[in-house]
Amino acid sequence: MASTLTDFLEEARLSARALLDYGEHFFNPTVRLGVTGLSRAGKTVFITALVHGLTRGGRFPVFEPLATGRIARAHLAPQPDDAVPRFDYENHVRTLIEERRWPNSTVDISELRLVIDYQRPNGADRTLTLDIIDYPGEWLLDLPLLNKSYEQWSRESLALSRETPRVHLAAEWHAHLESLNAQAREDEQATLTAARLFTNYLRACRDERFAMSLLPPGRFLMPGNLAGSPALTFAPLDVPIDGTAPEGSLWAMMVRRYEAYKDVVVRPFFRDHFARLDRQIVLIDALGAFNSGPEALHDLQAALAGILDCFRIGRGTILSSLFRPRIDRILFAATKADHLHHVSHDRLEAVLRRAVSGAVAKAEQTGAEIDVVALSAVRATREAVVARGRDKLPSILGMPAPGETANGETFDGNTEAATFPGDLPADPEELFNGTSFRGLSSTAAADSDFRFLRFRPPLLEHDGAGEPALPHIRLDRALQFLIGDRLQ
């Protein structure tokens, strides 16, 4: 019963919020664009490049309203949500362009408002407000918890942790789990240890070598100001999926805290942020998964399916049926395509299309239009052909970041180097069937099939006419899909 009341209150809050937004958007057309992706996927760089391109008139031939000169001006304006940190655009631009460093990692949600003055094709002047919301993909992957009991979540988490390569990383936590009796009296110390070992296991899975994607609950790895709170101090137990926890037991304590996590973390995120989005781009570091190996690619696929499920949850609320369809376009974007030669860009898109295909087949239920693109928000490389013996290898030329190593050489950050990152297969199936390629999870860097160096952001040549545009790959195509129709 309690959960029904909670659900009812939640719906009421959602409806009130939606009414407020509706009234505002009626007088002032607004698109709320969610930008998400797992940690290090490229969110901050994407938003910075997008805003830079729109406000400074970037080279966006495929973004029709800009290419045809219908956008008169785009400028930043104060954001509407007082409790959300502002996206630190100016600082990120400075870091990228002047220092030629990538911006620092960001762990919280942030927001930026862009106002676009444009002319409709019939000549009328209009304004579109674009609110860009940057939030961690880990938070998104928490949404399915809303529909899961503690026992269900425990069962799924345990099953996943028994697959390779996770099972090796979970050894210490599994050993501790064996020593626990779920029916015994609640025990704070045992719970603390379980939560710590479970978190260590999640952290090990996320490591570059394994690059696993599916790691809920998201806040365990990015606790912020909730670090150490009971809502973040629980772990799965080996309990029957339809069982009931005895009062005062360890199990009951875990259930209480799991529910607290949903109340304190997941529901507010859903209500205040997710349910209010109109459009969504999901950034994916597919190259990171290639680097790691086939297991990481499968894990990524599962995470993408989970993400699409979230959009279905989003549609099922009273909000979507009463007011207006919310998220009606979703773009999955493989980032950092500049690490590959252009012949592989279409192949990268094909891999991504294959990875989301199962989920997209069910997409009718989301009611949203879905597309995929391989892009690079900031292009850090050029292409070159390097002769090796009689072979001519299509290579990538860039300035590796200080400390990167290849073939025994460590780069100082001031030297250009040509690398051959590896070719993606013409048929994406080859990457998905089992163990067809080797990555860092099973072999040393020198023997893996794909190896991507981190390059420094590009050097921009000033021609005296203001700040030069940042080079990119297909960023304009992403923009056309995400907001092109709203500028008609």
What residue ranges bind ligand GTP (CB under 6 A)? 37, 39-45, 102-103, 105-106, 136, 335-336, 338-339, 376-378, 380, 454-455
Min dist CB 246 to ligand GTP, Å, is 41
Residue 154 binds: one of ligand GTP, Mg ion, none (C-beta under 5 to 8 A by kind):
none
Look at residue 135 and give its three-state secondary structure.
strand
Residue 13 binds: one of Mg ion, ligand GTP, none (C-beta under 5 to 8 A by kind):
none
> Stretches 29-37, 101-109, 271-279, 455-463: which one binds Mg ion (CB under 5 A)?
101-109
Residue 478 binds: one of Mg ion, ligand GTP, none (C-beta under 5 to 8 A by kind):
none
Spatial contact of 104 and 94, defined as CB atoms under 8 Å apart: no
Rounded Cα distance between 228 and 65, Å, is: 49
Q: Which is nearer to ligand GTP, 220 or 258 (CB)?
A: 220
DSSP states of 13-72 = HHHHHHHHHHHHHHHS-EEEEEEEESTTSSHHHHHHHHHHHHHHT---TTSHHHHTT-EE
Residue 373 binds: one of Mg ion, ligand GTP, none (C-beta under 5 to 8 A by kind):
none
Min dist CB 378 to ligand GTP, Å, is 4
Rounded Cα distance between 289 and 107, Å, is: 21
Query: Which residue is associated with the tokens 């809050």?
Result: 13
> Stretches 105-113, 289-297, 316-324, 404-412: which one binds Mg ion (CB under 5 A)?
105-113
Residue 407 binds: one of Mg ion, ligand GTP, none (C-beta under 5 to 8 A by kind):
none
Spatial contact of 235 and 187, defined as CB atoms under 8 Å apart: no
Q: How many residues in total does the chain contain?
A: 488
> Stretches 99-107, 243-251, 313-321, 432-440: which one binds Mg ion (CB under 5 A)?
99-107
Spatial contact of 304 and 58, defined as CB atoms under 8 Å apart: no
The bridge status of strand 369-374 relative to strand 71-77 is unpaired
User: Tokens standing for 347?
Assistant: 């192949």
Rounded Cα distance between 318 and 365, Å, is: 15
Residue 41 binds: one of ligand GTP, Mg ion, none (C-beta under 5 to 8 A by kind):
ligand GTP
Q: Which is nearer to ligand GTP, 47 or 487 (CB)?
A: 47
Q: Does 39 engage in binding with Mg ion (CB under 5 A)?
A: no
Q: Does 222 engage in binding with Mg ion (CB under 5 A)?
A: no
Q: Which is nearer to ligand GTP, 281 or 310 (CB)?
A: 281
Q: Does 419 engage in binding with Mg ion (CB under 5 A)?
A: no
- Type of residue found at 270: F
User: Would you give the distance in Å from CA 211 to the centre of its chain?
Assistant: 13
Residues 106-135 close enough to bind Mg ion by CB under 5 A: 106
Q: Which is nearer to ligand GTP, 380 or 431 (CB)?
A: 380
Rounded Cα distance between 29 and 260, Å, is: 37
Min dist CB 85 to ligand GTP, Å, is 13
Min dist CB 164 to ligand GTP, Å, is 27
Min dist CB 338 to ligand GTP, Å, is 5
Q: Is the peptide bond before 457 cis (omega within 30 degrees of 0)?
A: no
Residue 122: CB atoms within 10 Å: 6
Min dist CB 132 to ligand GTP, Å, is 13
Min dist CB 19 to Mg ion, Å, is 32
Q: Is the peptide bond before 78 cis (omega within 30 degrees of 0)?
A: no
User: Tokens standing for 125?
Assistant: 């002047």
Min dist CB 367 to ligand GTP, Å, is 27
List residues binding Mg ion (CB under 5 A). 43-44, 106
